Structure 1
C-alpha cells in the first residue's frame, strides 16, 4: 500500500478512529487534511503527523456547515493541488429508545452523519470528476445494517449512507471515482461509556484503519461494505432472494404469508449491481 502524492481529507479526525485513519494514511505517504469541530484537536493530530515526518494540516469545521466545508476543500486544493481521498468519519451519538427520543435528537444525528457526509462529498465531487480519480468512504455501522436497541436515529443515518454509497458508486464509476462503506467496530471516545473494559481492549481503533486503507488505495473496490473490528474483516451485502411468483388476485396477501419461508430462502440470492436488477428479476419471474 502506497499513498504517496495522494491528498486525503478525513473528517472527525481530532481523536479516536479518525485520528488512527489520519496517522496511518500519512504514514503511507498521503498528505492529510485533518478535520474536526475542535480546532485544537485537529491541529494536535496534524502536528503529530508532521513530527513523524508526514505532511498534514488541521482544519476546524462542522461537517454540517456548507460554507466551512467548501473552505476546507479549497484549502486542500490550494495547499496541495488535488483531492484524492475523502473519509467521512465525523459522527455523534444521542442514544435513547425510540419511545423516549425526541425529534431534535433524531434530526441532529441524521444531520451530522447523513447530511454531513453529503455536504463533504459534494464539496470534493467535482474536483474528483475533473481529475478523473477519487476515493470516497462513508462510515456506516452494524447499528444501521442490522439494528441495535436504542439507536434508531444512528441506525437510520448509517443505513442511509449505504444507500448514498450504492448510487454514488454507480455515478462516479465513469470518472475513476470509487465509493465504499466502512462498518467499524472500535473503541472510541464516542463509545467508551457503552462497552466493558475487556471489550474495549480488544477493539482498538488501530485495528480498523488498515481496512480503510484498502478502500482508498489505487486498487480499491467499488460499491462495497467492509465490516471490520478486532482484526477481523468481512464483506456485508444487501442481497435479493430468488423469490417466488404469486401475481395479483384477492388471495395474493394470503399466498405471500403462506409461502413466506420459500420467499425467504437464500439459496439462490444475488447481490444486485443496481436497483433495476430487482425489476428485471421480477419481470422475468412472471409465468
Structure 2
C-alpha cells in the first residue's frame, strides 16, 4: 500500500456528535480510505461498524487501514442509496456518517480524470463498472444539454460559452483527457475569470463528476432511507463540501423534522421524533484548515431520531 492517505475532515466533531456512548452499530456510508471508520472503532470497543463504498479500490485501501479492527467491521461494495433502500442488517444503526465528495486518492492516483491538469482519460466514475463516463458526455451530448448540466451541477456562470466551445472543439477531434478539457474551458472564459482564486474549469469538472455518478440524486434517496432505518436515539451526520450538497441536506433535515412535529400532534401518535442537533452547520477550526486545506469548505450537519429526542 502506498503512503498517500486521505486525512478525515473534522475528526473531533464527528466523534463528539456521532459516536454512540453505549456502543452499537455505526455505518460509514462513504468509507473511502477508512479514516473516519478508524476513529469510530478507536472511540469504543463496543462499537461495530459497516463501511460502504461504490469503488472496490477504496474498499481495498480501507481494509488495509482497518485491519486491526477486522473483528468489528464489515466492508460492503455498494452505492449508499442502494444499501439503505434495501437495508438488511440485523440491527438498526446508532450512527450514520456521510462524508461527501471524493478522496485525495481519486485526484492524485486513480487515473480517472478527476484532476484538471493530468493527461488522464475523462472517466470520473467512482464505480468503474458504471457505464457513463465524462468522456461520453462531452463528446456525445448536445450543446444545450451540456450547458444545462454545467450550470445545474457546477453553478457555472459561463456554462453556455463553455458548452459551445466543447462542441466546437470535439468536431475537430474527440476530447479525451482531463488536461485537454481543462485547457478548452480556460481558453474560452474571460481573462479575469481565468486567473481567479480557483482554476476556471473547477466547476465544469465538478458538474461532470456529479452527473457521471448521479451524486445528488443518490444523496437525496440515501438520506431519506437512512433516517428511516436509524435506531431510537440514533444520529445521522453529513459533511458536505459545496452548496448543492448542503442544500439537499439542510432541506431534508428540515422536512423530516417538520413532518415528525406534525405527526407528534396526532392523537395516539407513536412516531419517532426527529430533531436537528446542529442549528447551523459546524465548520472546521482554523487550525484544521491550515493543516488540511480540504476541510476549508466542509459543513457538518447532524440530525437525531427517537421518541425521547430533545
Interval of TM-score (by shorter of Structure 1 and Structure 2): 0.3 to 0.5
TM-score after normalising by structure 2? 0.45
TM-score after normalising by structure 1? 0.48
Greater RCO between the two (CA within 8 Å, min separation 6)?
Answer: 2
